[in-house]
A and B are shown apart, each in its own frame.
Chain A
Amino acid sequence: MTEIYLDNNATTKVDEAVFEEMRPYFCELYGNPSSMHFFGGQVQSKVNEARVRVADLLGALPDEIIFTACGTESDNAAIRSALEVFPERRHIITSRVEHPAVLTQCRNLTQKGYRVTEIGVDGAGRLDMNELRAAVDTDTAIVSLMWANNETGVIFPVEEAAALAKSKGALFHSDAVQAIGKIPINMAASSIDMLSLSGHKLHAPKGIGVLYLRRGTPFRPFLVGGHQEKSRRAGTENAAAIIALGKACQLAAQHMEAENTGVKALRDRLQDTLMAAIPHARINGGGAERLPNTTSIAFEFVEGEAILLLLSEFGICASSGSACTSGSLEPSHVLRAMGVPFTCAHGSIRFSLSRFTTDAEVDTVIREMPPIIARLRQMSPFGREHLKGQA
């Protein structure tokens, strides 16, 4: 079965051009970039080129780019570093809708005596700036807020939040894993200190990430024991993946406009047609500024896992905020923080598109989705009661 892949916030296809770029660095040009000889040296120069390409996408300087293994490592490294840099500050601020890579880390730190404030969001998933303003104080070591939410695509006002953090001398970190490559980012005009990036969310392979670290920002490394990345991240460079990421960032810059026009138009068509065709549905975060590729739709009276498995019968890949898909028993912490009623949270489906999504694929989803929802509602004791008299 050919897949219709609308789960790009989970991971993306490696662009063929990206794969070609990295291919020689396994069996032919396998040298260690740190070696003195010519063989390592030619890898080193490609790694440097990649660093420039990543920096260009972010509007950053090449030496502000630290290659890591994944977004999660970058998130962990950023928060740990801030706490070590400011041992006298014992307060961390984050939000209730962060990715577990940040949230779990922060919650674990409460057991080490840190005070953690999780800022709430409103019904559309927008950050409560007043709560943030009240929470930041001179005890705050770091404020870590995501640039865009992985489940809803809702974008946070990170620049404004960073300014608040800086006003009290705290560091500001943003998990920008979902935002980079989808919306323009310019660190040159920003006051954000640290930023996390994950390669596999923008058509590079899995296993490569970046921690952006603003020049002059105090830092303590997470991994020690090597001079790599200017001793800020020890460990032999994953050269092939770094080179791939460089190419992926170059392509992302080239496709940025298409992402915000073509991809967005497809997303809007998908979302609007489904909303018109299916009663008792709502867009999670619909009232907020969102990423151009993401839509999360809650269908009342039906359960997400059942929807996903029926979609899967047509090759359609999406994801769900429902409890049953994750093995946990409560629907997603993001939807709950937004106050989405349990009655719809269980039936929430996320479609996340990419530049590879086609019109025909969206047509298929638009065709198959309404009968799937109708079929499950027909089976559901609540669907029948609520939809009596409706088509």
Chain B
Amino acid sequence: MWDYTPIVKDHFLNPRNVGDIPDADAIGEVGSLACGDALKLYLKLDENKDKIVDAKFQTFGCASAIASSSALTEMVKGKTLDEALAVSNQDIADFLGGLPEEKMHCSVMGQEALEVAIFKYRGMDIPEHDSEHDHGHAYPDYEGEIVCKCFGITDTFLKKVIETNRLTTSEQVTNFTKAGGACGGCIPKIKDLIAQVLGEAAAQPRVRPEKLSNMKKMQLIQEVLERDIRPLLWADGGDLELIDIDGTKVQVAFRKACAGCASSGNTARMVEAKLRDLVAEDIVVEEVFA
């Protein structure tokens, strides 16, 4: 049995705002019968066409899909369109007191329907949605190369979800978007996308501190390893462990796919370069076999 919070249960058993709005200003439709979940969101705006005065939904899906839709409609009522666009899938999950990670894609579907509705209302180009036959989610503004053929999900959309939710493993991407959850053929591609996004994040300029106490330096080394280096290795099925820090000498042991990998020497140099870049330029990384 899923471990749903009382709020999820309440919104599933007593969903708010089920139905349609015949004279809706904006409608967003995502998902399909084939995918196993789908959501049609209706928004009614005030006379200035700025503020959402009513929201209703129809959802085909599991308990958390229904609860996410219900939560979404409650959250956006009273918001301006710009404020509504700022609602993230994590906000929806938070509103519900959290969702099991395997069910995060339900919150993503909610956020997606909201974007489709607003983008369409604003006259932006949205691919036609064919809910009966098309596996495809009609992602607003996320045209790109289809990565997951089973669920019809593009690289642009995946990169956005990876980035906003700071995902580091392909399992997480599957939980959040379903991509890779059926035949699994696109999992290597998803790992590439994670590496790309993490690479881009890491490429953003970070300033190396001028002077560091030993304690601060050790902290920073650990932080860089956790935040900047291990996720990159995870994407390739590898990992490393920090063994010891002795002055400027950092000892690491490679794990999983990195252990015994012929190019682990190169990986060690990559780690060293990153640490020199972000912590101190005299750092030496040593691979140990602990």
A contact set with B: CB distance below 8 Å: 301-306, 309-310, 313, 322-325, 327-331, 342-343, 346, 378-384
Does any Cβ of A come within 8 Å of B11's Cβ?
no
> What residues of chain A lie closer than 8 Å to B63, measured between beta carbons?
305-306, 309
Are A329 and B178 in contact (CB-based, < 8 A)?
A: yes
| Chain B residues whose C-beta falls within 8 Å of the C-beta of A378 in the assembled complex | 18
Within the assembled complex, what's the spacing in Å between the Cα atoms of A303 and B63? Answer: 9
Closest to B41 in A: A381
B272 CB to closest chain A CB, in angstroms? 36
- Tell whether B65 is near chain A: CB-to-CB under 8 Å: yes
**At the interface with chain A, which of B32-40, B236-244, B252-260, B282-290?**
B32-40
Closest CB in chain B relative to A137 CB, distance in Å: 29
Asked if residues B62 and A306 are in contact (CB atoms below 8 Å), the reply is yes
Determine which residue in A305, A310, A328, A329 has the highest number of CB atoms from chain B within 10 A of its CB, and name it: A329
Further pairs besides A309-B63, A379-B59: 12, Cβ < 8 Å: A301-B60, A304-B62, A310-B13, A324-B36, A324-B65, A324-B103, A329-B174, A331-B36, A379-B58, A380-B58, A382-B38, A382-B131
Report yes or no: A346 in contact with B58, Cβ–Cβ below 8 A.
no
Secondary structure at the B interface, as helix, strand, loop or mixed, is mixed
- Chain A nearest CB from B110 CB (Å) reads 14
**Could you show 20 A-B contacts with beta carbons less than 8 Å apart?**
A302-B60, A303-B36, A303-B37, A303-B62, A305-B63, A306-B63, A306-B65, A306-B66, A309-B12, A322-B36, A324-B36, A324-B37, A324-B61, A325-B62, A329-B151, A342-B35, A346-B36, A380-B59, A381-B29, A382-B33
What is the CB-to-nearest-CB distance from B24 to chain A, in angstroms, rounded to a whole number? 13
Residues of A within 8 A of B102 (CB): 327
CB–CB A301/B33 < 8 A: yes
- The interface bits of chain B over 29-65 (1 if a CB of A lies within 8 angstroms of the residue's CB, else 0) are 1000111111110000000000000000011111101
A305 to B106, CA, bound (A): 13
* Nearest Cβ on chain A to B17's Cβ, whole angstroms: 11
Q: Within the assembled complex, what's the spacing in Å between the Cα atoms of A383 and B15? A: 17
Residue of B34, B62, B150 with most partner-chain A CB within 10 A = B62
Contact indicator A379/B15 (Cβ below 8 Å): yes
Given contacts A303-B60, A346-B36, A384-B58, contact A379 B66 (CB under 8 A): yes
Closest 7 CB pairs of A and B: A329-B181, A324-B62, A305-B62, A381-B58, A380-B60, A381-B40, A342-B34
Q: Which of A303, A313, A343, A384 contacts B61 (CB 8 A)?
A: A303
Q: Write out, one digit per residue, whether chain B residues 162-176 have a CB within 8 A of any chain A CB (1) or not (0).
A: 000000000000100
Q: How far is the CA of A375 from the CA of B166 in the complex (A)?
A: 37
Q: A378 vs B131: C-alpha distance in the bound complex, in angstroms?
A: 17
Assess whether B60 is in contact with A383, with CB atoms less than 8 Å apart: yes
Q: Tell me whether B18 and A343 are in contact (CB under 8 A).
A: no
Shortest beta-carbon distance from B231 to chain A in Å: 24
